[in-house]
Amino acid sequence: MTELLAARHVSVYRDGKTILEDVSLSIGEQDFITIIGPNGAGKSMLLKCMMGFYAPSEGTVFRRDGLKIGYVPQRLVADHTVPIRVRRFLTLRKKASAVDIERVAGETAIQDYLDQSLHVLSGGELQRVLLARALLDDPDLLVLDEPAQNLDVTGQLAFYKLIERIYAERNISILMVSHDLHLVMSSTREVVCLYHHICCSGEPHLVTRDPEFIGLFGQDMARLMAVYNHSHDHDHVHDHGHDHSHGHEHSHHNGGDSSHASHHYGHSHHDPSHVGRDRQKEQQDG
């Protein structure tokens, strides 16, 4: 596997606080990695270090020579004082033919807005415009920083579906930071759980069993996520009208699987008692 972008033992200290501590993360070809974690966990900082916006205090960032990254920021606040149409925004600093523009516009379903001003678009439309701009250079890697944070639930679902489709069709790698646990967990991609250091990583249904994940997000959230994940295990169409009531049974079943998620032990706030409590609860439920 060729490595595209990697953080190697990256630490960031700001104003006497440890924002990132010894974080290593590698993105290879056709990887789809989602970084999750609570507010202030350092997710954005990790992304910014990997993008080269900030130099880490310790450690290095590897970037393959000639790697093309498409970056989709959290949101675009389209200021009405700047008069600019979508088409012009897409081509600022880029050499793109009309054909290229039509192609990415079709891919992201923004054909109808190409000649509209940026500031009249809705939040979801703006995110798709940002995505189109990121795709215009045919990137090898798409980096998305909480791309759906300011959308409503329907908008989030549609946006994540679009990302999934682009991933499947373009055969590219994706590195995403996300707050939207329920949507991330319903996919089977790799999840990295970050809280200043990498707590755990792996497929969502394994991560939700991880004691550090439970410690971070709480028992209820872990349980809820496990339910989300399992109700979709056999059905990758994300149907939100779905009845989740049978989820407990599943989580009981797979209780022993947690060892498959890769742990990163040796950090101070790791609390093994969570494991015990988790098991106990499941037994009671069963």
Residues that bind another protein (CB under 8 A): 51, 53, 69, 71, 73, 76, 78-79, 81-85, 88-89, 92-93, 117-118, 130, 133, 143
Closest approach of Cβ 71 to another protein, in Å? 4
Closest approach of Cβ 136 to another protein, in Å? 11
CA 134/CA 128 separation, integer angstroms: 10
Q: Which is nearer to another protein, 87 or 260 (CB)?
A: 87
Closest approach of Cβ 57 to another protein, in Å? 18
Closest approach of Cβ 43 to another protein, in Å? 14
Distances (CA, A) of 189 to 57, 87, 111, 206: 30, 33, 30, 11
| Both structure tokens of 137 | 């250079």
Q: Which is nearer to another protein, 119 or 248 (CB)?
A: 119
Q: Which is nearer to another protein, 81 or 273 (CB)?
A: 81
Q: Which is nearer to another protein, 53 or 277 (CB)?
A: 53
Name residue 203's amino acid. E
User: Minimal CA–CA distance to 264: which of 222, 211, 185, 209?
Assistant: 211
Distances (CA, A) of 53 to 50, 56, 241: 8, 10, 41
